[in-house]
Amino acid sequence: MNNRTLNRLLLALIGLTAAALLWNRYGMDSVLGIDADSPYEVKRIDDHDSKGRSVAVLTRENGKLVLDCMINPGYEWPYCEMAIQLAKPPSGVDLTRYETVRLWVRSEGPEPQQQVRIFIRDFNPAFSKVGDADSLKVQEIIYNPDPDGKPIDVRLAQFTVASWWTNERTVPVEFAGTEFDNVSVIEVSTGGNVVPGRHRISVERIEFRGKLVSAGTLRLVIIAVWVLAVIGYLLLDGVLARRQLRLSSLHQSSLKRINDGLRMRTDIYSKLARQDLLTGVLNRKGLGDELLRVARGGDDRLFPLSLVFIDIDHFKQINDEHGHSVGDQVLEDMAQTIKAHIQRDDLLARWGGEEFLLICPLTHSHEAALIAERLRLVIATKEWPAGVRVTSSFGVAESVLGEDLSESIRRADEAMYRAKQNGRDRVEVQFSLAHQKTAPAAW
Protein backbone atom coordinates (compact mmCIF):
# COMPACT_ATOMS: atom_id res chain seq x y z
CA MET A 1 0.00 0.00 0.00
CA ASN A 2 1.65 3.24 -1.14
CA ASN A 3 1.26 6.79 0.15
CA ARG A 4 -1.22 7.67 -2.60
CA THR A 5 -3.56 4.85 -1.50
CA LEU A 6 -3.24 5.88 2.15
CA ASN A 7 -4.02 9.48 1.25
CA ARG A 8 -7.11 8.37 -0.65
CA LEU A 9 -8.29 6.26 2.30
CA LEU A 10 -7.67 9.19 4.67
CA LEU A 11 -9.64 11.57 2.45
CA ALA A 12 -12.44 8.99 2.15
CA LEU A 13 -12.60 8.62 5.95
CA ILE A 14 -12.64 12.39 6.41
CA GLY A 15 -15.40 12.66 3.80
CA LEU A 16 -17.48 9.93 5.47
CA THR A 17 -17.01 11.59 8.86
CA ALA A 18 -18.15 14.96 7.53
CA ALA A 19 -21.09 13.35 5.70
CA ALA A 20 -22.19 11.47 8.84
CA LEU A 21 -22.03 14.64 10.97
CA LEU A 22 -23.94 16.67 8.38
CA TRP A 23 -26.54 13.91 7.96
CA ASN A 24 -26.98 13.75 11.71
CA ARG A 25 -27.32 17.53 11.88
CA TYR A 26 -29.69 18.06 8.97
CA GLY A 27 -31.19 14.62 8.48
CA MET A 28 -31.27 11.20 10.12
CA ASP A 29 -34.63 12.21 11.65
CA SER A 30 -36.78 9.82 13.65
CA VAL A 31 -40.41 10.82 14.19
CA LEU A 32 -43.19 9.17 16.20
CA GLY A 33 -46.47 10.74 15.13
CA ILE A 34 -49.80 10.55 16.97
CA ASP A 35 -53.07 11.81 15.47
CA ALA A 36 -56.71 10.82 15.03
CA ASP A 37 -55.75 8.10 12.53
CA SER A 38 -53.12 6.47 14.72
CA PRO A 39 -53.86 2.94 15.93
CA TYR A 40 -53.58 3.87 19.59
CA GLU A 41 -56.53 3.59 21.94
CA VAL A 42 -57.80 7.00 23.09
CA LYS A 43 -60.23 7.50 25.96
CA ARG A 44 -61.69 10.40 27.90
CA ILE A 45 -61.15 10.92 31.60
CA ASP A 46 -62.86 13.42 33.95
CA ASP A 47 -63.09 14.07 37.68
CA HIS A 48 -66.03 11.74 38.24
CA ASP A 49 -63.65 9.17 39.77
CA SER A 50 -62.78 11.84 42.35
CA LYS A 51 -66.45 12.54 43.05
CA GLY A 52 -66.40 15.56 40.77
CA ARG A 53 -69.18 16.65 38.44
CA SER A 54 -67.24 17.58 35.30
CA VAL A 55 -68.26 15.81 32.08
CA ALA A 56 -65.89 14.98 29.17
CA VAL A 57 -66.86 13.89 25.66
CA LEU A 58 -64.28 12.63 23.13
CA THR A 59 -64.91 12.84 19.39
CA ARG A 60 -62.97 12.86 16.10
CA GLU A 61 -63.64 15.87 13.91
CA ASN A 62 -61.86 16.71 10.64
CA GLY A 63 -58.91 14.47 11.47
CA LYS A 64 -58.54 15.85 14.99
CA LEU A 65 -59.05 14.41 18.43
CA VAL A 66 -61.51 16.74 20.16
CA LEU A 67 -62.22 16.77 23.89
CA ASP A 68 -65.34 18.73 24.92
CA CYS A 69 -65.47 19.29 28.65
CA MET A 70 -68.02 20.88 30.92
CA ILE A 71 -66.21 21.87 34.08
CA ASN A 72 -68.62 21.86 37.00
CA PRO A 73 -67.95 22.68 40.66
CA GLY A 74 -67.83 19.73 43.04
CA TYR A 75 -64.15 18.72 43.14
CA GLU A 76 -61.33 20.80 44.50
CA TRP A 77 -59.27 20.45 41.27
CA PRO A 78 -61.74 19.74 38.46
CA TYR A 79 -60.32 18.48 35.17
CA CYS A 80 -60.96 16.69 31.90
CA GLU A 81 -58.36 14.90 29.77
CA MET A 82 -57.84 12.53 26.86
CA ALA A 83 -55.51 9.57 27.43
CA ILE A 84 -53.62 8.06 24.47
CA GLN A 85 -52.43 4.56 25.32
CA LEU A 86 -49.21 3.69 23.48
CA ALA A 87 -48.97 0.26 25.11
CA LYS A 88 -50.56 -1.72 27.88
CA PRO A 89 -48.48 -1.84 31.05
CA PRO A 90 -46.06 -3.29 31.89
CA SER A 91 -45.13 -2.65 28.24
CA GLY A 92 -44.29 0.78 26.94
CA VAL A 93 -42.56 2.77 24.21
CA ASP A 94 -38.97 3.97 24.56
CA LEU A 95 -38.93 7.73 23.92
CA THR A 96 -35.34 8.33 25.08
CA ARG A 97 -34.04 8.74 21.52
CA TYR A 98 -36.38 11.70 20.96
CA GLU A 99 -35.32 15.18 21.98
CA THR A 100 -38.47 17.23 21.45
CA VAL A 101 -42.22 16.86 21.24
CA ARG A 102 -44.08 19.03 18.72
CA LEU A 103 -47.66 19.84 19.71
CA TRP A 104 -50.45 20.87 17.35
CA VAL A 105 -52.93 21.62 20.13
CA ARG A 106 -55.66 24.25 20.42
CA SER A 107 -57.63 25.11 23.59
CA GLU A 108 -60.85 27.10 24.06
CA GLY A 109 -62.51 28.06 27.32
CA PRO A 110 -63.78 30.90 29.49
CA GLU A 111 -60.28 31.82 30.77
CA PRO A 112 -58.61 34.82 29.10
CA GLN A 113 -55.38 32.78 28.83
CA GLN A 114 -55.76 29.13 27.87
CA GLN A 115 -53.60 26.53 29.55
CA VAL A 116 -52.96 22.87 28.73
CA ARG A 117 -51.13 20.18 30.61
CA ILE A 118 -49.28 17.34 28.87
CA PHE A 119 -48.62 14.22 30.93
CA ILE A 120 -46.18 11.49 29.91
CA ARG A 121 -46.70 8.38 32.05
CA ASP A 122 -43.88 5.85 32.35
CA PHE A 123 -44.14 2.34 33.78
CA ASN A 124 -41.27 1.41 36.12
CA PRO A 125 -41.59 -2.02 37.78
CA ALA A 126 -39.72 -0.66 40.81
CA PHE A 127 -42.84 1.22 41.88
CA SER A 128 -45.51 0.85 39.14
CA LYS A 129 -48.17 -1.86 39.28
CA VAL A 130 -50.17 -3.40 36.47
CA GLY A 131 -53.84 -2.37 36.80
CA ASP A 132 -53.00 0.73 38.87
CA ALA A 133 -52.90 3.65 36.44
CA ASP A 134 -52.00 6.10 39.20
CA SER A 135 -48.74 4.19 39.88
CA LEU A 136 -47.30 5.19 36.48
CA LYS A 137 -44.85 8.02 36.95
CA VAL A 138 -46.35 11.31 35.80
CA GLN A 139 -44.06 13.74 33.99
CA GLU A 140 -45.72 16.97 33.01
CA ILE A 141 -45.39 20.28 31.31
CA ILE A 142 -47.90 23.12 31.48
CA TYR A 143 -47.95 25.59 28.60
CA ASN A 144 -50.16 28.06 26.75
CA PRO A 145 -51.09 26.70 23.32
CA ASP A 146 -51.19 28.94 20.26
CA PRO A 147 -54.72 30.33 19.72
CA ASP A 148 -54.57 29.39 16.04
CA GLY A 149 -53.27 25.90 16.73
CA LYS A 150 -49.77 26.53 15.38
CA PRO A 151 -47.25 23.89 16.48
CA ILE A 152 -45.11 24.44 19.54
CA ASP A 153 -41.90 22.54 20.22
CA VAL A 154 -41.14 21.41 23.76
CA ARG A 155 -37.90 19.66 24.74
CA LEU A 156 -38.35 16.49 26.76
CA ALA A 157 -35.74 17.89 29.13
CA GLN A 158 -38.32 20.56 30.06
CA PHE A 159 -40.71 17.97 31.51
CA THR A 160 -40.64 17.50 35.28
CA VAL A 161 -42.04 14.85 37.56
CA ALA A 162 -45.43 16.10 38.81
CA SER A 163 -45.11 17.19 42.44
CA TRP A 164 -48.66 16.09 43.28
CA TRP A 165 -47.74 12.57 42.09
CA THR A 166 -44.54 12.36 44.19
CA ASN A 167 -46.42 13.72 47.22
CA GLU A 168 -48.84 10.78 47.10
CA ARG A 169 -46.18 8.00 47.11
CA THR A 170 -42.67 7.16 48.16
CA VAL A 171 -40.26 6.77 45.23
CA PRO A 172 -36.61 5.66 45.70
CA VAL A 173 -34.24 8.57 45.22
CA GLU A 174 -32.54 6.88 42.24
CA PHE A 175 -35.87 7.13 40.39
CA ALA A 176 -36.63 10.70 41.39
CA GLY A 177 -35.91 12.11 37.94
CA THR A 178 -37.82 11.89 34.68
CA GLU A 179 -38.04 8.56 32.84
CA PHE A 180 -39.06 8.08 29.21
CA ASP A 181 -37.78 4.58 28.49
CA ASN A 182 -41.11 2.74 28.98
CA VAL A 183 -43.95 5.18 28.30
CA SER A 184 -47.42 3.64 28.31
CA VAL A 185 -49.74 6.65 28.23
CA ILE A 186 -49.73 10.25 27.00
CA GLU A 187 -52.41 12.54 28.35
CA VAL A 188 -53.64 15.97 27.26
CA SER A 189 -55.50 17.71 30.10
CA THR A 190 -57.15 20.98 31.00
CA GLY A 191 -55.06 23.47 32.97
CA GLY A 192 -54.49 23.39 36.70
CA ASN A 193 -56.60 26.48 37.47
CA VAL A 194 -59.50 25.77 35.19
CA VAL A 195 -62.73 27.69 35.82
CA PRO A 196 -66.24 26.27 35.46
CA GLY A 197 -67.74 26.38 32.00
CA ARG A 198 -67.37 24.81 28.57
CA HIS A 199 -63.87 23.88 27.43
CA ARG A 200 -62.63 22.35 24.23
CA ILE A 201 -59.18 20.87 23.49
CA SER A 202 -58.38 19.93 19.89
CA VAL A 203 -55.34 17.77 19.17
CA GLU A 204 -54.40 17.75 15.52
CA ARG A 205 -51.08 15.96 15.95
CA ILE A 206 -48.36 15.13 18.47
CA GLU A 207 -44.89 14.33 17.19
CA PHE A 208 -41.91 13.06 19.12
CA ARG A 209 -38.84 14.10 17.14
CA GLY A 210 -35.25 12.98 17.43
CA LYS A 211 -32.40 11.35 15.54
CA LEU A 212 -32.01 7.75 14.47
CA VAL A 213 -28.60 8.00 16.13
CA SER A 214 -28.08 10.64 18.77
CA ALA A 215 -25.30 13.17 18.28
CA GLY A 216 -23.43 11.82 21.31
CA THR A 217 -23.66 8.22 20.14
CA LEU A 218 -22.57 9.20 16.63
CA ARG A 219 -19.52 11.01 17.98
CA LEU A 220 -18.55 7.96 20.01
CA VAL A 221 -18.93 5.77 16.91
CA ILE A 222 -16.81 8.19 14.85
CA ILE A 223 -14.12 8.26 17.54
CA ALA A 224 -14.15 4.45 17.65
CA VAL A 225 -13.85 4.22 13.86
CA TRP A 226 -10.92 6.64 13.82
CA VAL A 227 -9.19 4.80 16.66
CA LEU A 228 -9.64 1.50 14.80
CA ALA A 229 -8.40 3.14 11.59
CA VAL A 230 -5.27 4.43 13.32
CA ILE A 231 -4.63 1.04 14.95
CA GLY A 232 -5.19 -0.67 11.60
CA TYR A 233 -2.83 1.75 9.89
CA LEU A 234 -0.12 1.20 12.50
CA LEU A 235 -0.47 -2.58 12.27
CA LEU A 236 -0.45 -2.50 8.47
CA ASP A 237 2.48 -0.11 8.44
CA GLY A 238 4.41 -2.42 10.75
CA VAL A 239 3.66 -5.46 8.57
CA LEU A 240 4.64 -3.60 5.41
CA ALA A 241 7.81 -2.26 7.04
CA ARG A 242 8.88 -5.76 8.09
CA ARG A 243 8.07 -7.10 4.66
CA GLN A 244 10.02 -4.28 3.01
CA LEU A 245 12.98 -4.92 5.26
CA ARG A 246 12.89 -8.61 4.40
CA LEU A 247 12.65 -7.91 0.68
CA SER A 248 15.41 -5.33 0.93
CA SER A 249 17.70 -7.89 2.54
CA LEU A 250 16.84 -10.51 -0.06
CA HIS A 251 17.42 -8.14 -2.97
CA GLN A 252 20.55 -6.46 -1.70
CA SER A 253 22.94 -8.77 -3.51
CA SER A 254 20.81 -8.65 -6.66
CA LEU A 255 20.82 -4.85 -6.61
CA LYS A 256 24.60 -4.86 -6.27
CA ARG A 257 24.92 -7.07 -9.34
CA ILE A 258 22.49 -4.87 -11.24
CA ASN A 259 24.41 -1.74 -10.25
CA ASP A 260 27.68 -3.31 -11.37
CA GLY A 261 26.05 -4.22 -14.68
CA LEU A 262 24.65 -0.71 -15.05
CA ARG A 263 28.06 0.79 -14.48
CA MET A 264 29.48 -1.46 -17.19
CA ARG A 265 26.69 -0.52 -19.55
CA THR A 266 27.20 3.16 -18.75
CA ASP A 267 30.83 2.86 -19.72
CA ILE A 268 29.84 1.08 -22.94
CA TYR A 269 27.17 3.64 -23.81
CA SER A 270 29.55 6.50 -23.01
CA LYS A 271 32.06 5.03 -25.38
CA LEU A 272 29.42 4.45 -28.07
CA ALA A 273 28.23 8.05 -27.74
CA ARG A 274 31.77 9.19 -28.70
CA GLN A 275 32.33 6.76 -31.55
CA ASP A 276 31.00 6.41 -35.07
CA LEU A 277 28.96 3.21 -35.06
CA LEU A 278 29.94 2.14 -38.58
CA THR A 279 33.69 2.75 -38.66
CA GLY A 280 34.56 2.61 -34.95
CA VAL A 281 36.58 5.84 -35.09
CA LEU A 282 35.68 9.01 -33.17
CA ASN A 283 32.62 11.05 -34.10
CA ARG A 284 32.49 14.84 -33.79
CA LYS A 285 31.63 14.73 -30.09
CA GLY A 286 34.35 12.21 -29.37
CA LEU A 287 36.90 14.31 -31.27
CA GLY A 288 35.94 17.39 -29.26
CA ASP A 289 36.24 15.47 -25.96
CA GLU A 290 39.68 14.15 -26.91
CA LEU A 291 40.93 17.59 -27.94
CA LEU A 292 39.78 19.02 -24.59
CA ARG A 293 41.53 16.19 -22.78
CA VAL A 294 44.81 16.85 -24.60
CA ALA A 295 44.45 20.63 -24.22
CA ARG A 296 44.25 20.31 -20.43
CA GLY A 297 47.93 19.31 -20.53
CA GLY A 298 48.86 22.72 -21.96
CA ASP A 299 49.44 24.23 -25.39
CA ASP A 300 52.86 22.58 -25.65
CA ARG A 301 51.08 19.22 -26.00
CA LEU A 302 49.08 20.40 -29.04
CA PHE A 303 50.99 23.03 -31.00
CA PRO A 304 52.15 23.00 -33.65
CA LEU A 305 48.81 21.42 -34.71
CA SER A 306 47.82 20.35 -38.20
CA LEU A 307 44.45 19.25 -39.59
CA VAL A 308 43.93 16.93 -42.57
CA PHE A 309 40.53 16.68 -44.28
CA ILE A 310 40.08 13.41 -46.22
CA ASP A 311 37.22 12.92 -48.68
CA ILE A 312 36.63 9.72 -50.68
CA ASP A 313 36.42 10.54 -54.38
CA HIS A 314 33.24 9.63 -56.27
CA PHE A 315 31.77 7.88 -53.22
CA LYS A 316 28.20 8.42 -54.41
CA GLN A 317 29.07 6.58 -57.61
CA ILE A 318 30.37 3.64 -55.57
CA ASN A 319 27.06 3.50 -53.67
CA ASP A 320 24.99 3.81 -56.84
CA GLU A 321 26.90 1.15 -58.81
CA HIS A 322 27.72 -1.37 -56.07
CA GLY A 323 25.14 -0.70 -53.37
CA HIS A 324 25.30 0.76 -49.90
CA SER A 325 26.68 -2.42 -48.36
CA VAL A 326 29.84 -2.09 -50.49
CA GLY A 327 29.92 1.63 -49.66
CA ASP A 328 29.77 0.81 -45.94
CA GLN A 329 32.64 -1.69 -46.34
CA VAL A 330 34.68 0.98 -48.12
CA LEU A 331 34.09 3.41 -45.23
CA GLU A 332 35.09 0.81 -42.66
CA ASP A 333 38.23 -0.18 -44.59
CA MET A 334 39.11 3.49 -45.12
CA ALA A 335 38.98 4.18 -41.38
CA GLN A 336 41.10 1.13 -40.55
CA THR A 337 43.62 1.94 -43.31
CA ILE A 338 44.11 5.50 -42.08
CA LYS A 339 44.45 4.38 -38.46
CA ALA A 340 47.12 1.86 -39.48
CA HIS A 341 49.30 4.58 -41.06
CA ILE A 342 49.15 7.41 -38.51
CA GLN A 343 50.84 8.01 -35.17
CA ARG A 344 49.34 6.88 -31.90
CA ASP A 345 48.67 10.43 -30.66
CA ASP A 346 46.95 11.47 -33.90
CA LEU A 347 43.15 11.79 -33.67
CA LEU A 348 40.91 10.42 -36.44
CA ALA A 349 37.19 11.17 -36.67
CA ARG A 350 34.46 10.56 -39.19
CA TRP A 351 33.31 14.09 -39.94
CA GLY A 352 30.23 13.09 -41.88
CA GLY A 353 29.29 10.96 -44.92
CA GLU A 354 32.51 10.04 -46.72
CA GLU A 355 34.61 12.74 -44.99
CA PHE A 356 37.22 12.09 -42.31
CA LEU A 357 39.19 14.59 -40.23
CA LEU A 358 42.70 13.77 -39.02
CA ILE A 359 44.22 15.97 -36.31
CA CYS A 360 47.97 15.73 -35.81
CA PRO A 361 49.31 17.31 -32.59
CA LEU A 362 52.92 18.57 -32.55
CA THR A 363 52.98 18.48 -36.35
CA HIS A 364 53.67 21.32 -38.80
CA SER A 365 51.66 21.62 -42.01
CA HIS A 366 54.52 20.46 -44.25
CA GLU A 367 54.90 17.35 -42.07
CA ALA A 368 51.13 16.76 -42.20
CA ALA A 369 51.29 17.12 -45.99
CA LEU A 370 53.83 14.28 -46.10
CA ILE A 371 51.54 12.13 -43.96
CA ALA A 372 48.63 12.94 -46.29
CA GLU A 373 50.63 12.08 -49.39
CA ARG A 374 51.63 8.73 -47.87
CA LEU A 375 47.98 7.98 -47.06
CA ARG A 376 46.91 8.98 -50.59
CA LEU A 377 49.34 6.48 -52.14
CA VAL A 378 48.26 3.68 -49.75
CA ILE A 379 44.60 4.29 -50.55
CA ALA A 380 45.14 4.51 -54.30
CA THR A 381 47.08 1.20 -54.44
CA LYS A 382 44.99 -0.79 -51.95
CA GLU A 383 42.57 -3.54 -53.00
CA TRP A 384 39.02 -2.59 -52.08
CA PRO A 385 35.78 -4.61 -51.70
CA ALA A 386 34.04 -5.65 -54.94
CA GLY A 387 37.14 -4.65 -56.86
CA VAL A 388 36.24 -0.97 -56.80
CA ARG A 389 38.96 1.62 -57.28
CA VAL A 390 39.13 4.15 -54.45
CA THR A 391 41.02 7.43 -54.30
CA SER A 392 40.80 10.34 -51.89
CA SER A 393 41.33 14.08 -51.87
CA PHE A 394 43.24 15.68 -48.99
CA GLY A 395 43.20 19.19 -47.55
CA VAL A 396 45.84 20.21 -45.01
CA ALA A 397 45.96 23.28 -42.77
CA GLU A 398 48.02 24.21 -39.75
CA SER A 399 46.31 25.79 -36.76
CA VAL A 400 48.08 28.87 -35.43
CA LEU A 401 48.32 29.33 -31.67
CA GLY A 402 45.48 31.59 -30.61
CA GLU A 403 43.43 30.89 -33.75
CA ASP A 404 39.87 29.56 -33.36
CA LEU A 405 39.88 25.86 -34.19
CA SER A 406 36.79 26.29 -36.37
CA GLU A 407 38.80 28.68 -38.57
CA SER A 408 41.58 26.08 -38.93
CA ILE A 409 39.00 23.43 -39.88
CA ARG A 410 37.51 25.80 -42.44
CA ARG A 411 40.91 26.31 -44.07
CA ALA A 412 41.56 22.55 -44.19
CA ASP A 413 38.09 22.08 -45.71
CA GLU A 414 38.85 24.72 -48.35
CA ALA A 415 42.12 22.97 -49.20
CA MET A 416 40.27 19.67 -49.60
CA TYR A 417 37.73 21.24 -51.97
CA ARG A 418 40.59 22.76 -53.95
CA ALA A 419 42.02 19.26 -54.31
CA LYS A 420 38.64 18.15 -55.68
CA GLN A 421 38.57 21.00 -58.15
CA ASN A 422 42.15 20.32 -59.28
CA GLY A 423 41.42 16.77 -60.35
CA ARG A 424 40.96 14.74 -57.10
CA ASP A 425 43.40 12.09 -55.74
CA ARG A 426 45.77 14.80 -54.56
CA VAL A 427 46.87 16.78 -51.50
CA GLU A 428 46.36 20.52 -51.14
CA VAL A 429 47.74 22.63 -48.28
CA GLN A 430 46.09 25.80 -47.03
CA PHE A 431 48.72 27.78 -45.19
CA SER A 432 47.98 30.54 -42.74
CA LEU A 433 49.08 34.06 -43.67
CA ALA A 434 52.20 33.53 -41.62
CA HIS A 435 53.20 30.44 -43.66
CA GLN A 436 51.95 31.18 -47.13
CA LYS A 437 55.21 32.80 -48.28
CA THR A 438 57.48 29.94 -47.19
CA ALA A 439 55.65 26.75 -48.31
CA PRO A 440 54.35 25.19 -51.59
CA ALA A 441 50.62 25.22 -52.26
CA ALA A 442 50.19 21.63 -53.46
CA TRP A 443 51.72 18.14 -53.36
Whether residues 13 and 35 share a domain: the answer is no
The per-residue pLDDT for range 192-226, each reduced to its tens digit, is: 889 999 999 999 999 999 988 767 777 888 898 88
Q: Does residue 269 belong to any structural domain of this protein?
A: no
For residue 416, which of 438, 435, 397 has the smallest C-alpha distance?
Answer: 397
> Beta-carbon neighbour count of residue 320 at 10 Å?
11
Angle, helices 324-340 vs 315-322, to 10°: value is 140
Q: What is the mean pLDDT of residues 115-132?
A: 95
Q: What is the pLDDT of residue 443?
A: 56
Mean pLDDT in residue range 143-158: 94
pTM of full prediction above 0.75: no
435 part of a folded domain: no
Question: In this structure, what are the phi and psi dihedrals at residue 65, rounded to the nearest 5 degrees?
Answer: -90, 125
Summarize pLDDT for 362-394 with one digit per residue, the tens.
Answer: 999 999 999 999 999 999 999 999 999 999 999
pLDDT grade for 340, boundaries at 50, 70 and 90: very high
Both 236 and 306 in one domain: the answer is no
Say yes or no: 236 and 156 in one domain. Answer: no
Instruction: Please report whether residue 265 resides in a domain.
Output: no
- Same domain? 188 vs 307: no
For residue range 3-23, list pLDDT tens digits in order: 677 778 878 888 888 887 877
Mean of pLDDT over the chain: 89
Residue 220 lies in a domain: no
Amino acid at 293: R
Kindly report the CATH number assigned to the domain that includes residue 106.
2.60.120.430
> Left, alpha or beta for 72 (phi > 0: left; psi -120 to 50: alpha)?
beta
Question: Phi, psi at residue 129, to the nearest 5°?
Answer: -130, 140
Evaluate whether residue 392 is within a structural domain. Answer: yes
Question: Structural domain of residue 7, as residue ranges?
Answer: 1-26+228-243
Mean pLDDT of 308-327: 96
Q: Does residue 291 lie within any of the structural domains?
A: yes
Q: Are residues 328 and 357 located together in one domain of the fold?
A: yes
pLDDT of residue 64: 95
* pLDDT tier for residue 261 given thresholds of 50, 70 and 90: very low
How confident is the model over 26-64, as pLDDT tens digits? 667 899 999 999 999 999 999 988 889 999 999 999 999
* Same domain flag for 60 and 176: yes
Measured on CA atoms in the order 290, 292, 296, 300, is the torsion positive or negative?
Answer: positive
Classify 271 as helix, strand or coil.
helix
Q: Are 316 and 379 contained in the same domain?
A: yes
Q: Do 233 and 182 belong together in one domain?
A: no
Whether 62 and 170 map to the same domain: the answer is yes
Residues 146, 36 share a domain: yes
Residues 233 and 369 in one domain: no
CB-based contacts of 322-326 (< 8 A; 24+ apart in sequence): 322/386, 322/388, 326/385, 326/386, 326/388
Domain total in the chain? 3
Cα separation, 18 vs 16, whole angstroms = 5
Q: Do 40 and 159 belong to one domain?
A: yes
**Residue 248 vs residue 126, higher pLDDT:** 126
